[in-house]
Chains A and B, each alone.
Chain A
Amino acid sequence: MANPAAEKWLGQLQGALAERMDRWAAAINVIAGPGLERGSVARTEAEQVSAAFERFLAGGIQSDELIEIVAGARPDAFWAAVEAFSAGASAEEWRRLASPLLAVPAVVRESRRLRHLSRWRRALAARRVGLLESPELREPLRKALARGPELVTLQAALALSRLGDLPGLAWLLQHPEATARRTRRQLVTLLERFGPGAAGELRTAVAGGKAPAPVLVAAIEVLGLHRDAASAGVLENVLRQGPLEARIVAARALGRIGAAESGPALIAALDDEAWQVRAQAARALGTVRAPANVGPLAGRVGDVAWWVRRHAAYALGRHGPAGRRALAEIAEAGQDLFAAAIAREVLQQIEWEAEIQGGFASVA
């Protein structure tokens, strides 16, 4: 077709139609009902496929036999078995098993569906072929990632994260608009799956990022989850001058990293105008333990915001005898009723510490 606009419009129309057909098919399937018998047949087939996987790993059957057995199963049963088995098998076992499975017709069909008109079908294909963790699938997955929309991008990114695909991660970080409507929790789970090896990529993106895009905020969180000490400087910078969301998460991430050098930056953040930042900074100082923290934390036990009071008091509780002394003074002074109450709560938790499963940390 000569007109690109018309071509684009036609493509969108085809996609929408394919989407609608998928949706109707699902609804008709519901009305027709799975039935007790049909459900049990599908379960049995999935169990047979899983048994074939086990026999292959034990050396009981060869690749050809495995392909023959699983090719006879219905696609849904095959993928149900792949899903269940991939969760339980060791990395080495799964690599051995996944290699011959690439020749199974269901896998070949699913790889083609990465280019399907329906976005839902593309997303499902990305999720399924991603389970096989095959390097051969990197390129089609990257294309699906870039083509989108968000639903497909997320599934393709999850598939690429299983492969530790750093170019895929770089694309995600360079295109924050592609994941703008995903929740931070989802994005954190996604970025975390790329593993600690991706910390450098994340650090570069955070250092260069300006807008508070959800994926960049998630990247800050993940640097903390990986306890990436090399990122402390970048995070302190964000804590000083980043946007609100980024400052909150940077304070939490610095707490997870627990580097003593971050103490001054966190103490400065106790005076932040946003109570959320003050609360996270106080909490983080509970892990960055240093005598210099006790005074500023004791000052924050009288904060106007309950969460700041709580986190400051619990952080003091984690500062050993000096922190406890400070808490006892606040509780006894009783000038600030709110501060005294939270100090008494923490002192009681410390008393119970010896008996609590997991110790004081489980409640702090």
Chain B
Amino acid sequence: MWPDAIEWGTWIATALLVYSAFGFAAHLALGLLASDEVGGQRRRQLLTDPLHLFESDQAPAISILLPARNDARTIVDAVRSLLQLDYPAFEVVVVNDDSSDGTLDQLITEFELRGSKRTPIGSVPRGSVRGVYGSPLSPGLTVIDLARPGGRARAAGLALAYARHPLVLVSDAGTVLERETLVRLALPFYEDDSVASVIGVVRPSNGSVIEHGNVTFCGRPASRLARFQSVEYLRGMISQRLAWGNQDSLFIVPGTLGLFSREALRAVDGFRGGNVGDDVDLCMRLQRRAAKDGRRSVVRCVSGAVAWTRVPESLRVLARQRARGYQALAEALWFNRELLLNGRLAIRQGIAYLFHLILDLFGPVFEVAGQVALVVLMFRGDLDLPLFIIYFSVFIVGGTIPSLMAIALERSACPRFQRGSDLEGLALYALLENLGYRQMTALWRLAGLWRALWGMRGVGGKVRSERAAPSAKAEAKAAA
């Protein structure tokens, strides 16, 4: 006998209620773990003296890779800002990814660049590089001009061949690093040889004033859309990443603020460029490798290392960004499913994988489909009103409290807001985002998931062929 409609409504509402309560509990646990991590980082900070340490010549040198495509408006300021960072040994390698807006010309003019005979360390595919430029006036700057566009990961991979230093940071022209960010990112490498990657916290620069890499004023964005994103950034960057870092299972790294060990990159075949989300994929590959080698704490999140980026203030751009982000997550989870299925790997990473799979990836499916179904059932009279109210109460409370915890953590993890009213204002948006914004982003995320499903089928051959291609190490060996 089939259950009648009202029973279906109850079943669906109960299932959604359980799912929301599970999500709430999981995010609450992440908030507590993030607090523990911030406490631990503050304790460690009391024992270190980064500035004194980095006055010596023991600071590991860093190559900053800056892929740029049609960034003529911002590239010069971005490079100047990077060259002014406080760090004893670093270089900047800009890769012009076949821009058509004069990005290269701007660099040549501003930094008086000339053709350089700099040789690559690894092998570079024939015809992929049109020219290499350097400047006697800025010895720490190298510009690589690519012959054809290939995307950010490919550009970073080619830049890596021309980079000289043992640590590598990939950034972009729209991101501004605080002056002490490199010191803070490099400190874990100084203290522990097993570290493969260290990420920092990226925050929206909308509403803030940044001069020469220094945040002279940090305030709440004027745009409402940017305020919602500020809450999301605090929740994602501070609360979740610190918590996963604490559990040694950090998978999702910001594409513009990750410092990698060159050796670790080489061990996992570096930047592949075959998929949309190379950063997440790369981080998962590092975790897989570490799990196989039995190493711990290889990917860390440092709350004091901060970079600023402008977040979209138009729905169209935000929708595209979110869809792309979720496509990246879906692809990375698919490529690295070994993290879940292979019993040899660490249990914590399996749990993290499940979290990202169930709550992050399929969350939009449950949210959109479930809420539409509940509203329809409610209007048809097939659902009890109290159950409907309980579900939405849990949904809203469960969405708001983790965000409020993240906003509270901001004061301890990386305090930048100068006015208490800015944080209070964001707290209001933590509540409001559950009433429309969250549903809207769920739709965009669904679009990303859809594209990933089609993309996997569509470009599967390409991805496979890239994986089958010889690694950079093998190519270098063959060339030698």
Please report A residues at the B interface, Cβ cutoff 8 Å. 22-23, 25-31, 33-36, 39, 83, 87, 120, 123-124, 127, 151, 155, 183-186, 188-189, 192, 225, 304-307, 310, 338, 341-342, 344-345, 347-348, 352, 355-358, 362-363
- Closest A-chain residue to B53, C-beta based? A189
Q: Are A345 and B47 touching (Cβ within 8 A)? A: no
The CA of A190 and the CA of B277, in the complex, are separated in Å by 41
Q: Which of B43, B53, B56, B420 contacts A22 (CB 8 A)?
A: B43
Q: Are B36 and A356 touching (Cβ within 8 A)? A: no
Contact with A along B40-62 (1 / 0, CB 8 A): 10110011010111001110100
The CA of A39 and the CA of B47, in the complex, are separated in Å by 20
Q: Are A344 and B38 touching (Cβ within 8 A)? A: no
Q: Which of B46, B190, B411 contacts A186 (CB 8 A)?
A: B190
Please report B residues at the A interface, Cβ cutoff 8 Å. 32, 35-36, 38-40, 42-43, 46-47, 49, 51-53, 56-58, 60, 116-119, 121, 134, 136-137, 139, 190-193, 408-409, 411-413, 415, 420, 480
What is the interface of chain A mostly: helix, strand, loop, or mixed? helix
Most A C-beta atoms less than 10 A away, residue of B38, B40, B136: B136
* Total A-B pairs, Cβ < 8 A: 103
Q: Are A26 and B40 touching (Cβ within 8 A)? A: yes
The CA of A271 and the CA of B47, in the complex, are separated in Å by 43
Q: Are A189 and B139 touching (Cβ within 8 A)? A: no
- Closest A-chain residue to B193, C-beta based? A183
- Closest A-chain residue to B38, C-beta based? A30
The CA of A347 and the CA of B118, in the complex, are separated in Å by 11
Q: Are B43 and A120 touching (Cβ within 8 A)? A: yes
Q: A30-B409, A342-B119, A348-B117 known; A355 and B40 CB under 8 Å?
A: no
Other than the known A23-B40, A189-B56, A225-B57, what 8 A-B pairs have Cβ atoms closer than 8 Å? A23-B36, A27-B40, A30-B38, A34-B412, A310-B119, A338-B119, A347-B117, A348-B116
Min distance, Cβ A245 to any Cβ of chain B, angstroms: 12
The CA of A184 and the CA of B139, in the complex, are separated in Å by 28
Task: Note all chain B residues with C-beta closer than 8 A to A124.
Answer: 43, 46-47
Q: Are A36 and B411 touching (Cβ within 8 A)? A: yes
The 5 closest A-B pairs by CB, nearest first: A26-B39, A355-B136, A352-B136, A27-B39, A185-B58
Task: Note all chain B residues with C-beta closer than 8 A to A306.
Answer: 119, 121
The CA of A258 and the CA of B152, in the complex, are separated in Å by 44
The CA of A24 and the CA of B60, in the complex, are separated in Å by 33
Q: Are A341 and B190 touching (Cβ within 8 A)? A: no
Q: Which of B35, B46, B116, B118 contacts A127 (CB 8 A)?
A: B46
Q: Which of B35, B411, B413 contacts A35 (CB 8 A)?
A: B411
Min distance, Cβ B412 to any Cβ of chain A, angstroms: 4
Task: Note all chain A residues with C-beta closer than 8 A to B60.
Answer: 185
Q: Are B118 and A345 touching (Cβ within 8 A)? A: yes
Task: Note all chain B residues with C-beta closer than 8 A to A358.
Answer: 139
Min distance, Cβ A29 to any Cβ of chain B, angstroms: 6
The CA of A183 and the CA of B186, in the complex, are separated in Å by 13
- Closest B-chain residue to A304, C-beta based? B480
Q: Are B117 and A341 touching (Cβ within 8 A)? A: yes
Q: A26-B39, A186-B190 known; A123 and B47 CB under 8 Å?
A: yes
Q: Are A30 and B117 touching (Cβ within 8 A)? A: no
- Closest A-chain residue to B34, C-beta based? A30
Task: Note all chain A residues with C-beta closer than 8 A to B46.
Answer: 124, 127
